[in-house]
Structure 1
Amino acid sequence: MQQEAREVVRDYTEAVFRRARTPMEPLNYEVDWADQPSRHKSYPGAPRLPLPADLPELPTLRDLHTGENLPATTRWSLAGLAALLRLSYGVLDRRMAVNWNQDVAKRAHLEHAVWGRGTASGGGMYPVEVYLVVGAGGPLLPGVYHYHTGAHVLERLLLGDVTGTVRAALGTDGPGTGGDSYLLAGIRFWKNSFKYNSFCYHVVTQDLGALLGSWDLLAPALGVPLRRLLCFDPAPLDRLLDLDSDAESVFAVVPVDWTGADTRSPAAPADATARVRARYPAFERSRRIRDFPAVTAVHRAAATLARPAPDTVESAAPRDLPGEPVALPAPRLDRLSRPLSAVLASRSSSFGRFRRPPELTAADLGTTLAFAAAARRYPADIKRTDGGPELTRLWVFANHVDGLPGGGYAYCERRHALLPAGSEPEGGMSAFLQQQYFLTNYTMGQVGAVLAISGRPDAVLDVFGPRGYRMLNAEVGTVAQRAYCAATAQRLGCGAVLGFDNVAMNTALGLDGTDERTVLFLLLGRHPEATADLAYRL
């Protein structure tokens, strides 16, 4: 069973990585924009509980990077949880920028408005849904709640303490089984697949990681612990939330301990709450929902759980690379002095806005790399206490970087240096990158550098089983979110893209003949200082 599931996942990842050359099924798919799902899942019949809207003063990115000036560790309060939810996935503003991107004319109209959020999402689809399971020690009535991202409220779906169901899903000996309450991060595929069809699963599993990456930053900034749990049985949690597991499923569990909670509800047997389900149906805007066999197959396969032996996890990490390092300027931590709340509120993708000169500098690049690489050490049930091992590596395609010759490089965080991985292609890096990019929303000649996040999918699958694909992509998304934050703090432009020919990009970095592959790319550069932008803060 495990081997068959691994092969399904391997086949899907191979199709994803080769999609620039061999399109994925279904061919000639047309998006029905008029029938797209709502960007904000809601439960119209459920009671609503308004959440505090005031946002606290938060430490700077520099403080988070160095671990200095952080608040003392405490437990969660309702106000702290509200800040976590709003700054990570809630709507923060309406945005409009005048640029040459092809959809700029639509964005002036209300029905096509862009509503800014703190976390990046592939295509701006935001498919992750956040649920809160509150136990006896919480500040709310025990029960199950859904976070409505558009209204910043909790929708109460069920009354009663069902934390025993979560504990049973985590396993009697699993981590987090003693939590007061739990955040459940689920993914609704249709919110993405209506646009990206079979490619959906690759995108949404990175979206999950981006959200968890925001939580990794917000938790220490708020002075509370947070740990993602990825090894659990999703079936009882999906039943609890009344979800069709092929259409929406729980992907991550985060324990929450409340301030002043001295007692915890007893762990119920697995069958004690198995028949309890959320009471209210969700609203569905789409008249027709399509299923995509490739998404269903890979999701069923990747849901298969295998807990790795502790002495095997290191074998999933990227291997050391040879080469004479090229030193980078020390990270300019003074440029990370903006508060995290301000960074998340102003984070955006750089569609149509990259301009040069001035050039990106080696210091800009090095500061971004150092901050982003630290994202790979996050508290999780698949990690050691020091956050290792890292499942990903950062690479650089230096295009127009002042102080750095053009070419490919691997980033070594330990030495804060670059290892040469390929000279500048004939015809120049800009021409090469444009040839490998099969979309039309960026001009590579205006981009300073392209960062690539890589991993070893086969090794991860061998260690963690089929679910390792989700774990790898979650780390990729976490690194991307942190890169966005570093760029925003430095007032640089950043844009995550999946539109490169992975095969050609791997070859350019010398990865042919290895099991390491590029997974996601981030464009880095500068924006013009004078722009016609609108940001209406909510």
Structure 2
Amino acid sequence: MTAIAGPAGTVGPSPGARYWYRSLHEYADMTARAPGGREGSSAEPARFTRFDGPARHPLPAPARTLGPLASAFGPAHLRAAGPPPAGAADRASVSALLHYSCGVLRTEFGPTARWPYHRPAPSARCFAPVEAYYWTPGDEGLPAGVHAYDPAHHALVPLNPGDHRALLGAALGADLDGAVGVLILSTVFWRTAFRYGGYAYRLCAQETGLVAGSAMMAAGALGLSAHLHHQFLDGVLERLVGAPRPQESIAAVLPLYPRREGAARPLRRLAAAHTERAVAARVPAPARRAAPAADSLGSLEALTGMDAAARLSTTGAIFRLPAGQEGRPRGEFPYGGGAELGDCLRRRSSGSPAFNPVPRPVPLDAVLRVLGPVLDPWVSDAVPDGAAPPVTAHLWAVNVGGLDGGVYRWGPGGLDRTGPGSAALAAMEAANVNYRAVGGVVFLSGPRAVAQEVFGDRSYRVLHQEAGVAAQRVCVLGAAEGLAARIHNGYAAGPLARALRLRPGHEPLFQIALAVPGPDERYLMPVPTSSVPARVEAA
């Protein structure tokens, strides 16, 4: 644990170190102490933010197709996918980007339907705490400025007009020259915390990464390259969009650039450091927003304390992990580039509430197509340019045709067997997942100890978001193979780390069960992509 000096001169673990340990090794106790609110009850928070006052700018109906799934990844796959479309941020591409990042893709009906709105990325009980804001320099009738995305009406709500490129760059400590737009993701904690309490911080960090992963894939298919920023001046961006603290916190920022056929545009740092106090003084007040509803977030010290400890007040404190992380295997592996990305995002499924899939073998070729590009590099401020993400992938093969059962590490040599599957099964604590019927389980882990040294208390969100990008790739690539992908945190982190033979200081961050989906009493109906009226008044 990272030690800090206490008020009386004592030394103890930092808020981040405490949360790292509690959320991974004592998560059952954390959730047992949570409020335990039920979805559908009168206490459940609204799943959509209400914006009063300004008229919305309706977006055109999002495209039904985005292009080959292969086009969603890095330049190495462009040959299989064909050349990407010309990168631009016109209304059509903004519509598709936001819809396939945070939009409502399906609604749920049936006798056991409890989670009505399904998004492109998995969400714990479909609470969808991630909000999206979009900055545009102005194009095709969209005025320059920062807008909130209203997924219920598929429209943009103007919040802060003007060309804020320099201000956003100062907040990120990055040169945004050439950016055609900036996607800002935030989390509204109480949507998840009303049930999960302080443990919601982990769920929100994971979901931010999942949503960012979806946005990066959609951007790639649209001919754009998204840079993932975990480090920025929190207070500056909160003021820019009018996010109320502590109810809402900026979580990640993704500037968008036209995609190049060669190497991706590198992330360019500004030479001078900027402080929150100096930059915030330049931020104009945004349009009035509805006051946040009363909640009990203030009583959740584990969550609010963790969020407060992770804030940055100067871009001089922006760092990167050392190089050396391993990426995808060398050589050519099968890759399902013929699938269509928009279709895969709509078909992505977490399975039924009780994950009891069909006990059918999953072909090894399908598993290799899922794992193939999962660790392909993306541009991130957490790692050096061109480096692989700080994520390690393992497969627990339960019923994979053509592969002996056991635990495998996905690395330069492909799938390398590291041990039997019995130890992994002993670490599982998810009563609502039938592990004996799944094809396999993908585990994603990260270097917690090194990240704490580099990022301090912000390391928690950085690693969970980086792993979340890879996890969303697993989910969408699984959909291309007709597989449901169930993310579940029900595992004992210590025993699982030993079963996976993780290096000291590494922690398992995600488990994703892959299987042929079984019967379900629910019916998930696609949301039609019809045009919206020319003007939509505030709800």
Aligned partners of 1:256, 1:478: CA distance in 2, in Å? 16
CA contact (8 A) 1:349 1:494 kept: yes
SS of 1:365 mapped into structure 2: helix
Aligned partners of 2:88, 2:319: CA distance in 1, in Å? 31
User: Which residue is equivalent to 1:85?
Assistant: 98
Matching residue within 118, 121, 124 for 1:119:
121
User: Which residue is equivalent to 2:290?
Assistant: 282
User: Which residue is equivalent to 2:480?
Assistant: 489
SS of 1:187 mapped into structure 2: strand
CA contact (8 A) 2:86 2:258 kept: no
For residues 160-179 of structure 1, the aligned pairs below 5 Å read 160-171=162-173, 174-176=174-176, 179=179
User: Which residue is equivalent to 2:389?
Assistant: 390
Give the deviation of 1:123 after TM superposition: 3.0
User: Which residue is equivalent to 1:29?
Assistant: 35
Aligned partners of 1:25, 1:495: CA distance in 2, in Å? 19
CA contact (8 A) 1:35 1:286 kept: no
Give the deviation of 1:17 after TM superposition: 1.3
Give the deviation of 1:90 after TM superposition: 0.5
Aligned partners of 2:331, 2:433: CA distance in 1, in Å? 28
Provide runs of 4+ in structure 1 moved above 6 Å: 327-330, 529-532
Give the deviation of 1:284 after TM superposition: 4.5
Aligned partners of 2:239, 2:158: CA distance in 1, in Å? 16
Matching residue within 483, 487, 509 for 2:500:
509
Aligned partners of 1:328, 1:408: CA distance in 2, in Å? 20
The alpha-carbon distance between structure 1 residues 144 and 61, as it changes in their structure 2 partners (threshold 3 A), is closer
The alpha-carbon distance between structure 1 residues 532 and 294, as it changes in their structure 2 partners (threshold 3 A), is closer
Give the deviation of 1:121 after TM superposition: 2.0
The alpha-carbon distance between structure 1 residues 150 and 444, as it changes in their structure 2 partners (threshold 3 A), is same
Aligned partners of 1:299, 1:185: CA distance in 2, in Å? 15
CA contact (8 A) 1:38 1:285 kept: no
Q: More displaced, 138-147 or 279-288?
A: 279-288
SS of 1:467 mapped into structure 2: helix
Aligned residues: 494
Deviations 1:498-518 (A, max 9, x none): 11111221122223x722221
SS of 1:380 mapped into structure 2: coil
Aligned partners of 1:86, 1:514: CA distance in 2, in Å? 40
Aligned partners of 1:532, 1:470: CA distance in 2, in Å? 33
Q: More displaced, 179-188 or 249-258?
A: 249-258
User: Which residue is equivalent to 1:262?
Assistant: none
Q: Could you list the runs of 5+ residues in structure 1 that have no partner in the other structure? A: 97-103, 260-267, 321-326
For residues 147-166 of structure 1, the aligned pairs below 5 Å read 147-166=149-168
Q: Within the alignment, does 1:299 sit opposite 2:307 as a pair? A: yes
SS of 2:66 mapped into structure 1: coil
Name the aligned partner's letter for residue 92 of structure 2: A
Give the deviation of 1:530 after TM superposition: 10
User: Which residue is equivalent to 1:340?
Assistant: 341
Q: More displaced, 518-527 or 61-70?
A: 61-70
CA contact (8 A) 1:239 1:274 kept: no
For residues 448-527 of structure 1, the aligned pairs below 5 Å read 448-511=439-502, 514-527=504-517
User: Which residue is equivalent to 2:265?
Assistant: none
The alpha-carbon distance between structure 1 residues 120 and 299, as it changes in their structure 2 partners (threshold 3 A), is same
Cα-Cα RMSD: 3.3
Matching residue within 50, 66, 83 for 1:58:
66
SS of 1:385 mapped into structure 2: coil
Q: Among the aligned pairs, what percent are the same residue?
A: 23
Aligned partners of 1:424, 1:225: CA distance in 2, in Å? 38
The alpha-carbon distance between structure 1 residues 164 and 282, as it changes in their structure 2 partners (threshold 3 A), is farther
CA contact (8 A) 2:102 2:131 kept: no
CA contact (8 A) 2:348 2:484 kept: no
Q: More displaced, 33-42 or 435-444?
A: 435-444
Aligned partners of 1:237, 1:140: CA distance in 2, in Å? 21
For residues 17-416 of structure 1, the aligned pairs below 5 Å read 17-20=24-27, 23-24=29-30, 27=33, 29-31=35-37, 33-55=41-63, 57-64=65-72, 66-68=77-79, 69-96=82-109, 105-107=111-113, 112-135=114-137, 139-171=141-173, 174-176=174-176, 179=179, 181-256=181-256, 270=278, 274=282, 276-282=284-290, 284=292, 291-304=299-312, 307=317, 313-314=322-323, 317=325, 331-333=333-335, 335-351=336-352, 352=354, 354-374=356-376, 377-386=377-386, 388-412=387-411, 414-416=412-414
CA contact (8 A) 1:167 1:178 kept: no
Q: TM-score, normalised by structure 1?
A: 0.83
Q: More displaced, 497-506 or 280-289?
A: 280-289
Give the deviation of 1:292 after TM superposition: 0.9
Aligned partners of 1:438, 1:170: CA distance in 2, in Å? 39
Give the deviation of 1:252 after TM superposition: 2.0
CA contact (8 A) 1:408 1:420 kept: yes
SS of 2:14 mapped into structure 1: helix
Name the aligned partner's letter for residue 435 of structure 2: M
Q: More displaced, 441-450 or 117-126?
A: 117-126
Q: Could you list the runs of 5+ residues in structure 2 that have no partner in the other structure? A: 6-12, 260-273, 529-539
Aligned partners of 1:28, 1:40: CA distance in 2, in Å? 23
Q: More displaced, 8-17 or 268-277?
A: 268-277
Aligned partners of 1:223, 1:213: CA distance in 2, in Å? 16
Deviations 1:409-450 (A, max 9, x none): 2111x332x22222242xxx7xx63x5443432211211211
